[in-house]
Structure 1
Amino acid sequence: MSSRAAPNASTAPQAAPTLPRGPALSPLIVACLAATWLIWGSTYLAIKYALVSFPPFFQMGTRFLAAGVLLLAWMRWRGTPMPTRLQWRNALVIGTLMLGGGMGGTAVAETTVGSGLVVAFIAVLPLMIALVNLAFGVKPRALEAAGIAVGLVGVLMLTQGQGFQASPGGLLAICIACLAWSVGSVLSQRSLPLAPGAMGFASEMLCGGAVLMALSWATHEVPQWPPEPVAVGAWLYLVVAGSLIAFNAYMVLLAKASAGLASSYAFVNPVIAMLLGVLIAGEQVSGFEWAAVCVVLAGVVLLMWKRPATAH
């Protein structure tokens, strides 16, 4: 799913494949990968805890409005100009898709569907993004396609190792969430640019948060008051880590890395979620499930793997 052209083929025999070096794995890219892999892997548990007191759309809407206001204030203090009218329009479209549909749908799904299924289902994101990218004439490289396939097999293995039940409504919510996030991801790269840098992220969170609050009002959500302390702590974690840090890291990956690498979190997050279940909730993990983890990680390696250009 790379948006970059493949390196020219050499007439000489190719060197053995190696992991990308230099700019492909710069310190910034590594930090952004760590944020999307580790933080987003833990946010599903935080969403579940926040749902104790905060309904799904209200939880997500207040989360992104708070993060958007903080980020906008910081950027204005640094002298960054406000987005143009066109950039605000783009932020509304992207925010509606990625935050309103993507994150709102995820929170709705977690009210009735086991978190393991929610995380595992998100593995279809790279496939959806690849299909949307095809409409723009972008085809995945062979190794990226192989990584997607292997990673998806691993996540499917994870789901087979868990005994969970899901409601039809919850499955529909996560399907809509994945589709909306995929379309928003591609449009943000291809045709609906946001304001440069963090100001664009702030405008997207503000617009998406407003849409989520409208959905909360339309569905007559009522938060618990006073909220449970665990719900407040989880909400704060979602604002600071999940929104201000990890979400911005993902947008940087979309701008500076291949689509395959940017979406690799979809394979790693189930692993993180499973480990958190073991360490925090005391869940038991079978040998089959650990084997599935190895398959997932193999898919991530394939996503990151590329042949270096060779000298003529």
Structure 2
Amino acid sequence: MNSAALGGATARRTSLVVPALLAVYLIWGSTYLAIRWALVSFAPFFQMGTRFLAAGALLMAWAICRRSPMPTLAEWRNALVLGTLMLGGGYGLTAVAEQTIGSGLVAAFIAVSPIWMCGWGLLFGQRPTRGELAGIAVGAVGVLLLVRGASFSASPGGMACVAAATVLWTLGSVLQVAKLPLAAGAMGYASEMLCGGAMLMVFSLATGEQFAWPPEPLAALAWAYLLVFGSLLGFSAYLYLLANASPAMASSYAFVNPVIALFLGVALGGEAVRGGEWIACGVILSGVFLIFRGKSASAPQRAAR
């Protein structure tokens, strides 16, 4: 490929970063309430499994029509591992947690994802800066304050699920960038959705989940919203950012999602957020801000080496 063509391809990738960020910021913030609404008729693992199987099938059909090459055996293996971690663990356990904890507070807890990203980075030789360590400490205090609130104290099982979801999601994100590449473009996204959706259905069968038919109208609309916006647009946008933007930028949704989710949960979902929980959310977001500031400060130093 000549330099002009390479430059054009790079420019196209860069031009999609901002729309992908907006999709992750705005769409994902609203999906937490949609998950809760869908739970009325769709059990947690079944809800997530059906949505990602449908989204993966649609996306793969589109990629095949564009004559994209099928994933290799190794790429299918990677998709299975990542789909199990990020979709089976991350999304599935998030839905389980929302059965007993408000959607906005679940989003606030998941805001600690950049902290876990820093922790997993240690396994791959990435040492945190002082600013990042300060952010981790502040974020940890915020989490302690949050889980001491009435909502989390009343549901230790839900708290365990959302904590495990965050750990598995961030581990999958780090592995995808560092060790387990997917097939290029939409075919890679589709393969992960199909593998993750299949694992979610296995979890659904193993836990004996039941599907309520016919679904409530609001639950059906919420499921359709999660399929189109949460999976096809939002999740694909996040995978695109992992491949084409810095880890800090890809995980910057942690600033915006909790604010949107908390607002929608209170305004539309009738969820109650107490004063101490608002304070805890602010402390968590302050810790996330310190982490990003630490990453930004260290970037010029690393580039100069």
User: Does TM, scored on the shorter chain, surpass 0.5?
Assistant: yes
Query: Aligned in 2, Cα 1:32/1:293: closer, same or farther, shift over 3 Å?
Result: farther
Matches within 5 A, 1:130-279: 130-140=118-128, 152=139, 156=143, 159=146, 163-165=150-152, 166-279=154-267
Distance (whole Å) between structure 2 residues aligned to residue 309 and residue 135 of structure 1? 23
Cα deviation, residue 237, structure 1: 0.6
User: Partner amino acid for 2:292?
Assistant: L
Change (3 A) 1:219 1:302: closer
Letter in 2 for 1:50: A
How much has 1:140 moved relative to structure 2? 4.0
Structure-1 separation of matches of 2:255 and 2:145: 11
TM-score where L is the length of structure 2: 0.82
**Contact 2:105/2:262 (CA < 8 Å) preserved in 1?**
no
1:75 aligned partner: 63
Query: Which residue does the alignment assign to 1:48?
Result: 36
Matches of 1:239 and 1:175, distance apart in 2:
24
In the comparison of the two structures, how many residue pairs are matched?
287
Please tell me whether the aligned partners of residues 264 and 300 of structure 1 are also in contact (alpha carbons under 8 angstroms): no
Distance 1:128 1:33, change over 3 A: same
Q: How far off is 1:309 after superposition? A: 6.3
Q: State the one-letter code of the partner of 1:112.
A: T
- Kindly tell me: are residues 204 and 107 of structure 1, through their superposed partners in 2, closer, same or farther at Cα, counting changes over 3 Å? same
Identify the residue that residue 15 of structure 1 maps to in structure 2: none
C-alpha RMSD of matched pairs (Å)? 3.1
- State the alpha-carbon separation in 2 of the partners of residues 179 and 61 from structure 1: 20
* Structure 2: unaligned runs, 5 residues or longer: 1-10
Structure 1 unaligned regions, length at least 5: 1-22
For the residues of structure 1 that align with 2:157 and 2:266, how far apart are their CA atoms? 28
Percent identity for Structure 1 against Structure 2: 56
Structure with bigger helix share is 2
Residue 300 of structure 1 and its aligned partner are, at CA, apart by 4.4
Task: Name the amino acid aligned to 2:193.
Answer: M
**Deviation digits for residues 81-133 of structure 1, max 9, x if unmatched?**
11111111110011011001111111111112232331122122211111111
Counterpart in the other structure of 1:303: 292
Alignment partner, residue 80 of structure 2: 92
Q: State how far apart, in whole Å, the 2-side matches of 1:132 and 1:228 are.
A: 41
From the superposition, tell whether residues 145 and 251 of structure 1 become closer, same or farther in structure 2 (CA, over 3 Å). farther
Q: What is the CA distance between 1:135 and its match in structure 2?
A: 0.7
The answer to whether the Cα contact below 8 Å between 1:32 and 1:249 also exists between their aligned partners in 2 is yes
TM norm structure 1: 0.81
Q: 1:140 to 1:33 in 2, by over 3 A?
A: farther
Give secondary structure in 1 for the equivalent of 2:59: helix
Conserved 8 A contact 1:268-1:297: no
* Distance change (3 Å), C-alpha of 1:100 and 1:309: closer
CA contact (8 A) 1:155 1:270 kept: no
**1: CA distance between counterparts of 2:280 and 2:94?**
27
